[in-house]
Amino acid sequence: MTSPKPKGMDMKIAQRDLLIATTIAEDVLGWEWKTGGWYNGEEFQTDYFDPMNDPKQVDQILKSGLDIKLKEENGTWTATAPNTDKETTGINDDTLIATGSKMEFALCFLLCMMVGDNPTNWK
């Protein structure tokens, strides 16, 4: 028996998560996809990268040295970072702010904002 294919909203969420993972891997962490996995230069990093759904990968991102603050209040996570490149982000505020129902969501949305990509606008 084969698994059913995701339909409708499930497919959109899966596509969004893949776009976010790729954006973070390439534009934030500087990784490159090569045969069978993500690499930083010639150093293999992982063959599976899904920070929207894997808290361990969020820890890896946070340890990369980015100036990001996370806090949880009343079930909502907020991620903030200095907006050091307003031209790239397209946001004029001094601080970037992203929220989500999970820590992973808030962090991933913030990281995409930092490189000028806003996943909340993706269709």
Please state, as a whole number, how many other Cβ atoms lie within 10 Å of the Cβ of residue 84. 11
CATH number for the domain harbouring residue 105? 3.30.2120.10
**Structural domain harbouring 83:** 11-121
Inter-residue long-range contacts of 66-71, CB under 8 Å, 24+ positions, other chains counted:
66/28, 66/111, 66/114, 68/107, 68/110, 70/103, 70/106, 70/107
**Residue at 107 is within a domain:** yes
Instruction: Give the range with max mean pLDDT: 14-18, 111-115, 117-121.
Output: 111-115
Q: How far apart are CA 111 and CA 113, in angstroms?
A: 5
- Per-position b or e across 60-72, b if 16+ CB within 10 A of its CB: ebeeeeeebeeee
Q: Give per-residue pLDDT as tens, 29-88.
A: 899 999 889 999 999 999 988 888 888 888 778 877 889 999 999 999 999 999 999 998
**Residue at 2 is within a domain:** no
pTM of the model: 0.75
Report how many domains make up the chain. 1
